Amino acid sequence: MMSDLSTDYPNLPKHLAFIMDGNGRWAKERGLSRTMGHRRGVRAVKNIVKAALKYKIPYLTLYAFSTENFNRPPAEVSFLMKLCTRSMGKYKKFFIKNGIKFLMIGSVDRLPKELQLAIGDLRDATETFSELTLIVAINYGARAEIIDAIRGIVRKKIPESGITWETVADHLHTRGLPDPDMIIRTSGEKRLSNFLLLQAAYAELHFLDTYWPDVDEKTFIEVLREYARRNRRMGIVQR
Ligand code: FPP
């Protein structure tokens, strides 16, 4: 319950970022196709979005597709693109009803036209909301983001002496958004894999053995507890 959590753990994070990993292995262990794993992955996305609303976490970032994911077999890439496109259309009403603002980070360049349209449509339909900001990383890679930022700064001819961290932050895809307080990766892999490298400078890192399709509200509560535990330790060190 919300009251329990906020009483026990006054330090709730403002921004959680998930690297959704393990859809393929989840499916393989059950003798199912990888595509079935991704379908169940969407169900887990909904679980986590609902939990973020329930526990009033204002920012949630989900890594759906990396620049490197384009190297997967074309049929799987195409399936993931269609799944993202369909999910955005399907959940549009849910976003509006719950006051969820949708943002995308990454490059739309290589994405199919339908997905580009779905992203633009969802962003426009939800831009005034603020109950929860859901940031989905699609065709995102931190190195590509940093190149984009440098190009933007050079294009504006900003003088060398005027470049601060704020200048750089203002040119990242995440401009205007708070840094993640904690980055969580599922499936037992312990790497950031080119995800939010600069924004992760002070983030807590948390690795779960759970495969993404098995992630639910209970997992989310465990994440909040882990965050609170670490924050409490930090407080003790500072005192
Ligand atoms: C990682 O599992 C998961 C992905 C690459 C895709 C995640 C995307 C979704 C769940 C759809 C998101 C949709 C919306 C609307 C945000 P994996 O395939 O890398 O698993 P494996 O490492 O076990 O092979």
- List the chain pLDDT tens, one digit each, 239 residues: 444 565 555 689 999 999 999 999 999 999 999 999 999 999 999 999 999 999 999 999 999 999 999 999 999 999 999 999 999 999 999 999 999 999 999 999 999 999 999 999 999 999 999 999 999 999 999 999 999 999 999 999 999 999 999 999 999 999 999 999 999 999 999 999 999 999 999 999 999 999 999 999 999 999 999 999 998 755 444 43
Question: What residue owns the CA closest to ligand 1's atom 14?
Answer: 84
pTM assigned to the model: 0.93
Task: Tell me which residue has tokens 């499916």.
Answer: 27
Question: What residue owns the CA closest to ligand 1's atom 3?
Answer: 21
Q: Quick one: tokens of 90?
A: 């399907």
Residue 46 CA, ligand 1 centroid: distance in Å: 13
Residue 38 CA, ligand 1 centroid: distance in Å: 6
Q: Of residues 21, 23, 47, 181, which has the active-site annotation? A: 21
Q: Report d(CA 135, CA 95) in Å as an integer.
A: 13
CATH class of 2-182+203-228: alpha beta
Ligand 1 atom nearest 138 alpha carbon = 16
Could you tell which of 19, 20, 191 is best to mutate to test the pocket of ligand 1, judged by most ligand atoms within 8 Å of the CB?
20
* Ligand 1 proximal residues by C-beta, below 6 Å: 20-25, 38, 41-42, 45, 62, 64, 69, 80, 83-84, 87-88, 136, 187, 212
